[in-house]
Structure 1
Amino acid sequence: MSNNKNMMCDINTGICGETDGAGMEMMNFQRPQKKIDLYYVTDPICSHCWALEPVLRRFTEQYGDYFRFHTVIGGLLEKWHDGPIDPANGIYQPADVVKHWREVGEHYRMPIDGSLMKNDHVESSYPASRVFTIIQKHHGAEVASSFLRRAREALFIFNQNIGKDEVLIEIASKMDLDGKAMVDEANQTIGQTLLSENFDLTKQLGARGFPTIVMINEENQGIKLVGNRSLEDFVQALEKILANTELQASTLPSLESILKKEKMLFAREIEVLYDLHEDELASFIEKELDANAYKRNEVLGEVYLTYNY
């Protein structure tokens, strides 16, 4: 064998042989500078925000290097009153929410039970919102976002009333936080002060409904997207706010790493994240995950996975 040959083992074929090129090339590993502030205006009991989770996760995983992500709580429901709450969706009292939530869940395949609204309804979204701000204050944005996700799972899937302190304490405690301390502080003046700051920012951003995404560049120019939008919509908006920069999507993390982090993923979330058809899901999961690493569950006709370890 000649010593002048550049030899290698191909990562795809496993075959060892001579390289096609010179074996030396310049590469750029520099991540893009975060020049954009992205504000996600939401609320813990917003059904359309729950439905947006698959697309929003895919967008942040692949293009999060381009922006700083900020979650802003907008205040969907302070309390129920005698007048109409959402007449456009036929919501005048708590029990009316069930039909609307079910329709949203079925349409986007992010299931919502909602039956608690008939007999143990959430009186206000403010308690969970205040706890979010306190967790954000003490533990940072990422942990606060995880709390928001767990609160939505508790409400939409497991019919737990996230307007009650004991439920919020349990959710935070399962995240290895001091749940009682977080909720107690949220019930003090600081909790409402921090929430009011979120409401002020919501107004400044011009958000009048949830979900709303606002992207703002260094020149203080912005783009606002309202409602449940597609991945393509978000990518196009990011390209536009970056002066038509050609975006480079980051490599997606493995299903195992995502499930380990999130603890629970729905079929639709996995399909959107990895561009799968519904009939490809089972074989993909089997290929990507050890059989002992997860449990397959089902609710309202939709599959979801929970992490075992």
Structure 2
Amino acid sequence: MDKNNPLLCDPDSGICEIPTAKNEFEKSAVKASDKSVRILYFTDPICSSCWGIEPQLRKLKLEYGEHLKIEYHMGGLLPDWKYNSGGISKPSDVAHHWDEVSAHYNMPIDGDVWLEDPLDSSFPPSIAFKAAQMQDETKAIVFLRILREMVFLEKKNITKWEHMKTAAEKSDLDVDVLKNNYENDAEKLFRADLNLAAKMGVRGFPSVFIMNEEGGQEFVYGFKPYSLYENAIAKIFPKIKKATYEKTWNFLFSKYPTLTTREFAELMELSIQEGESQLEKLNVEEKIVKFDTKNGPLWKVI
């Protein structure tokens, strides 16, 4: 694997690493919020390992949501293609890799976007996300999810305003306000995220800092199983109690209007095969619709 290319995420470690980052970790002085547990999540719209942990994050929100405050920060995975070298020098070199990590994470990713309509940077969608946050934190997370579905499944170049606009409309953001913020103050917030990432020693994604009110802190780096997130939370907040949630298809789709097979299976606590069987049945019954990609479907509520 060519370590000069940040889009070649290491499937074994589950990390999309920034080539220029220093390999050091600084214990943060950032404090927790009024909620018991504060999570700082450093990510990027085109980070395949971050797409891989969507099931874990969605389950965390269902089981620990009343205790959690999750703050999304952008990390600047791909500034441009100037610094890449060796065998990885152009977007098309990433296509096959994305297809491989799709199988590794069991999450649908179609690498053909790098052949059909390649992105020259991850900065524009990152800045758009900061613009969305300026308007509404909750809608911004929906906006980011839609952008990811666009790039990973629909093969859309999300650096283009037309796709950002569509994502904004689908997430119920005011498009005019978003565009104004995108073209003005959002870049400053994006740069502030990059500075915070550097200060905290972030060198790749996903980087998840879990903190309590007393300054206790755990760090989860790369693609990790759900149990590791639970253990990290329990370590700094031993008395935390997780909520139970309704493990039915209609409840899950009311919370998350789109789900991959792995997301559905993990949230329902089923095997992939059992989850897929239930989803196929719901599709036949016309309760959900199936959006097919070459590396797996996305299921959407009707």
Shared fold per TM-score greater than 0.5: yes
Offset, 1:82 = 4.9
Q: 1:266 aligns with which of 260, 273, 285?
A: 260
Name 1:157's counterpart in structure 2: 153
Unaligned runs of 5+ in 2: 1-33
Return the alpha-carbon distance in structure 2 between the equivalents of residues 35 and 192 of structure 1: 30
Q: Does residue 242 of structure 2 align to residue 248 of structure 1?
A: yes
Name 1:130's counterpart in structure 2: 127
Unaligned runs of 5+ in 1: 1-32
Query: Larger relative CO (CA 8 A, sep 6+): 1 or 2?
Result: 2
The one-letter code sitting in structure 1 at the alignment partner of 2:145 is R
Name 2:78's counterpart in structure 1: 77
Return the alpha-carbon distance in structure 2 between the equivalents of residues 288 and 63 of structure 1: 28
Q: Does residue 88 of structure 2 align to residue 94 of structure 1?
A: no
Offset, 1:283 = 5.0
Return the alpha-carbon distance in structure 2 between the equivalents of residues 82 and 281 of structure 1: 42
Return the alpha-carbon distance in structure 1 between the equivalents of residues 127 and 291 of structure 2: 31
How many residue pairs were aligned? Answer: 269
Name 2:175's counterpart in structure 1: 179
How big is each residue's C-alpha offset from its partner over 1:240-296, in whole Å with a ceiling of 9 and x where there is no partner? 011x33633432464223324433211111011111112322554478899333113
Which runs of structure 2 are paired with 1:82-231 in the superposition (5 Å)? 82-84=83-85, 91-139=88-136, 141-188=137-184, 190-231=185-226
CA RMSD of aligned residues (A): 2.3
Larger Rg, first or second structure (1 or 2): 1
Does the aligned pair in 1 maintain the 2:108–2:297 contact within 8 Å? no
Offset, 1:301 = 4.7
Q: Does residue 31 of structure 2 align to residue 42 of structure 1?
A: no
Does the aligned pair in 2 maintain the 1:205–1:214 contact within 8 Å? no
Q: 1:45 to 1:65 in 2, by over 3 A?
A: same
Return the alpha-carbon distance in structure 2 between the equivalents of residues 62 and 35 of structure 1: 14
Q: Does residue 300 of structure 2 align to residue 306 of structure 1?
A: yes
Does the aligned pair in 2 maintain the 1:173–1:179 contact within 8 Å? yes
Q: 1:175 to 1:48 in 2, by over 3 A?
A: same
Return the alpha-carbon distance in structure 1 between the equivalents of residues 108 and 279 of structure 2: 20
The one-letter code sitting in structure 2 at the alignment partner of 1:262 is Y
How big is each residue's C-alpha offset from its partner over 1:147-200, in whole Å with a ceiling of 9 and x where there is no partner? 100000000100100011121112112333232441342122x12111112112
Does the aligned pair in 2 maintain the 1:168–1:183 contact within 8 Å? no
Does the aligned pair in 1 maintain the 2:139–2:173 contact within 8 Å? no
Name 1:5's counterpart in structure 2: none
Q: 1:289 to 1:46 in 2, by over 3 A?
A: same
The one-letter code sitting in structure 1 at the alignment partner of 2:91 is P
How big is each residue's C-alpha offset from its partner over 1:204-252, in whole Å with a ceiling of 9 and x where there is no partner? 332211001101111222111100011110000000011x336334324
Q: Percent identity?
A: 32
Q: 1:94 to 1:285 in 2, by over 3 A?
A: closer
Q: 1:293 to 1:73 in 2, by over 3 A?
A: same
TM-score (norm 2): 0.82
Return the alpha-carbon distance in structure 2 between the equivalents of residues 252 and 48 of structure 1: 28
Offset, 1:80 = 1.5
Return the alpha-carbon distance in structure 1 between the equivalents of residues 150 and 281 of structure 2: 29
